[in-house]
Amino acid sequence: MFRGLAMSVLGAVALCAGPGCSSRADYPTRVYDACFAVEDCVETATLCEELSVDFAGFTYSNAICTLPCEAEGSLSSDCPRSLLGRFGSCYPSSAVGGVDDTLICFEPCDFDADCQVGFRCLGAAGLCGADVTTCPIDETDAICVPGP
């Protein structure tokens, strides 16, 4: 009985290794990895964006693999899904210490643990202070940014 079940599972795995199962469009990709150059990123990421954030009296810098987007705001359908399964958020890179106002995709998060090592989860209040009305980050959104 066990041997038959094991063979069925192995057969399904072997069949799924073919071209019919190789499309991962519905699954999150590691678009939001840290990088030194765009060559470090997966094919779908076209930018390695350097970001700097002031937090608790220190400046934290790091770069992420990402891509440009057009539909600005949280959970933008222009942005690939993160490992949390949600669409990324589309904001100007300058909102997080980038060099210009190019709209790029950021990894969404709920907690610091949702972000990679070298990044932390901050919302509008953490990035812009008490005046969240002028912050480019949606008041109810949080994204992974460079941090301790």
b/e per residue 76-86 (b: at least 16 CB within 10 A):
bebbbbbeeeb
Residues 71-111 pLDDT 10s: 999 999 999 998 888 999 999 999 999 989 999 999 999 99
Q: Residues 6 or more apart from 137 whose CB is under 8 A from it?
A: 89, 91, 95, 123, 124, 127, 128, 143
The answer on pLDDT for 133 being more than 70 is yes
b/e per residue 113-143 (b: at least 16 CB within 10 A):
ebbeeebbbbbbebbbeeebeebbbbeebbb
CA angle 11, 15, 18 (to 5 degrees): 155
The answer on pLDDT for 60 being more than 90 is yes
Return the minimum-mean-pLDDT range out of 20-29, 64-73, 115-124, 131-140: 20-29
- Shortest CA distance to 60 belongs to which of 115, 17, 18? 115
Query: Quick one: tokens of 66?
Result: 């990402």
Look at residue 49 in the predicted model and tell me its pLDDT.
Answer: 95
Residues 5-54 pLDDT 10s: 444 434 443 433 333 433 334 445 578 999 999 999 998 899 999 999 98
The answer on pLDDT for 112 being more than 90 is yes
Return the minimum-mean-pLDDT range out of 2-6, 64-68, 72-76, 123-127: 2-6
Question: First vs last Cα of the chain: how many Å apart?
Answer: 52
Look at residue 127 in the predicted model and tell me its pLDDT.
Answer: 86
